[in-house]
Copies of this chain bind each other. A is one copy, B any other.
Amino acid sequence: MAQTDTVTRILDTAEVLFAERGFAETSLRTITSKARVNLAAVNYHFGSKKALIQAVFSRYLDPFTVRFHHALDELEAQHAGRVIPLEVLLETMARTVLEVPAEKHSLKVFMKLLGLAYSQAQGHLRRHIQEEYGSVFTRFTDLVRRATPELPDAERFWRLHFVLGTVIFTLSGLDALRDIAEKDYHEHVSVRDLVRRLRPVVVAAMNAPLPPPPAAQPAKAS
């Protein structure tokens, strides 16, 4: 068979449709007809629609996890026990995220899927991702802790999620934003342009001054 594998064709089609419309709004019939495979093929190869959704994510996250662990290994070896600067850590993560889909898939699709995974409750998905890929994230945050010793733990936790929100929100809604930006500012924006713009903002956000301690009794007077 010269044509690509049925499993691959299903995954390729499903990830695009999922990213465009969400999970519940994409039926197996739409996927299989657009992929020109049999309807029963999904349940044959994956078992269920839920399993297909997880498989779509695994195809991105598995290579990402391998690469990111490898990149962190190299980083730790280079710095030999010394603290790895925050910007190097962020840079490494950004580079790895950009590398993985560049091989054959679309970064835009990947980011849209990540955004969906967070917003569309889909309990099974969040659980699956947490259990399967939580350890890489823990390793990363441990390194970030050593890079920002002046930050209280809780403050660092929140700020990491702040910037996570920025990145996922921006890159998952990229198309709509890009259209507006090009129309209003006559400026073509590539993903790498966006990363370039993101870098100083993210660094500034992490290094922002600490907020004032909460007022014990929030008095109305300013």
Which A residues fall within an 8 A CB radius of B? Answer: 20-22, 24-25, 115-116, 118-121, 126, 153-155, 157-159, 161-170, 172-173, 176-177, 180-181, 184-185, 187, 192-194, 196-205, 207-212, 214, 218
Contact = CB atoms under 8 A, between A and B. Distances in A.
B181 A170 contact: no
Contacts of A210: 200
A21, A121, A162, A173 interface centre (most CB from chain B within 10 Å): A162
Given A204-B207, A209-B204, A197 B155 contact: yes
A161 B21 CA distance: 22
A15 to B, nearest CB: 15
A123 B158 CA distance: 31
27 contacts: A20-B121, A22-B24, A22-B120, A22-B121, A24-B25, A118-B119, A118-B169, A120-B120, A154-B181, A155-B197, A157-B181, A157-B185, A158-B170, A161-B170, A161-B177, A162-B166, A164-B169, A165-B166, A165-B168, A165-B170, A166-B169, A168-B169, A169-B169, A199-B211, A201-B205, A204-B204, A204-B209
